[in-house]
Amino acid sequence: MTDVPTTVPTRYEPELAELAADSPEAMWEFLAERGMGDGLPVVAPTRERVDAMLEHAEGDADEVLFVLQPRAGLVTRRVVAVNAVMAGCPPETFPVVLTALRALAEPEVNIRGVNATTHLVAPMVLVHGEVVRTAGFNAGVGAFGPGNRANATVGRAVRLVMLHVAGAWPGSGDAATHGQPAKYTFCAAENLEATPWESYPASRGVDAASAVTVHCGEGPHNVHDAEADGDPALILDKIASAMTSLGQNNAPISQGEYFIVLGPEHAASIAERAFTRKDVSSYLFDRARLPAHVFRRHFQELAWARWMKTVDDDHLLPMTGEADNIRVVVSGGPGKHSLVVPSWGMTRSVTLPLGG
């Protein structure tokens, strides 16, 4: 858990508000008067609904767990439960929402920068392990799309906390020039049954029955390779080509991460040729490159590792400073498609065991 600064109170009990009626119209009026909400109808967070959510968390409901920037908003289990109810979360998904927010509060995520930048970055939540089954998350067809309550509402609950607690309101705490649909909800599950390697959390040293990963990045960039023989080189070269864009926020930043979300068919084809997860990252690190002079021409400031600054103009430089910055996970259903999700740049992903 992120340490709570000594100047932050250890407990926070929010004031209760009386609603005229438990209806969408009453909630619209209530939120509009306070400049709150994400623009979509919400569920009224009645005492009974909030208490049902809190039954799936351990600990004092009003204990301050951490703060979220840029507003230094206080986060408690009850505050999160209120937002989870409004988002429509099933109570059994509540530990996932809490864990995702704990991860976003970790210093390496740089949530202040994520929320305040003009870039359209949004937190992507990936759910792993037993909770995918027990709470009904979608790891298959359309995992990042509509139609599944757990995926849709957990991502939305995280965004409502960003709006209401972190202060990431468009035009003030959130300066994103255009925004993006992923700022409504951005949540999917790892398809462990279709993963030919160890689980993603295990690859990051997290040994837990269930876990949550957060990665702050752009919307998914689709990569299509439908060649009949499933040649890994053809698949990965196409992914590398999608990574080598000068328009990405990552381009001049050597610490930037890329999440490569392999579709199960691509993952199977790659693994059948004895590629490991690390092999995929290493291959993409070697192939997703541009000449140094191209970067130098386009960017006045280059937040590069020292070695990258010393090479000749013709040297092919990678899109990120090390292979481990290329993270590989499997999600989705049938079809020869995979996704590239570049990070905002000055942020790092975090994977935590599930906890409430």
pLDDT for 292? 97
**How far is CA 46 from its chain centroid?**
28
DSSP of 314-355? TSEEESSSSGGGEEEEE---SSSEEEEEEB-SS---EEEE--
Name the band, by pLDDT with cuts 50, 70 and 90, for residue 281. Answer: very high
pLDDT for 148? 98
Q: Mean pLDDT across the chain, nearest whole number?
A: 95
Name the band, by pLDDT with cuts 50, 70 and 90, for residue 17. Answer: confident
pLDDT for 356? 73
pLDDT for 265? 97
Q: Contact, 148 vs 141, CB < 8 A?
A: no
Q: Which amino acid is at 261?
A: V
The conformational region for residue 129 under phi > 0 = left, psi -120 to 50 = alpha, else beta, is left
Name the band, by pLDDT with cuts 50, 70 and 90, for residue 4. Answer: very low
Question: Residue 37: is its pLDDT beyond 60?
Answer: yes
pLDDT for 8? 77
Residue ranges per structural domain of the chain: 24-197, 221-342
Looking from the CA of 81 toward its CB, the CA atoms found within 13 Å total: 25
Question: Residue 9: is its pLDDT beyond 90?
Answer: no
pLDDT for 1? 46
pLDDT in tens, 297-311: 999 989 999 999 999
pLDDT in tens, 176-220: 999 999 999 999 999 999 999 999 999 999 999 999 999 999 999
* Mean pLDDT within 66-92: 97
Of 20-29, 156-165, 226-235, give the lowest mean pLDDT range: 20-29
DSSP state of 151: H
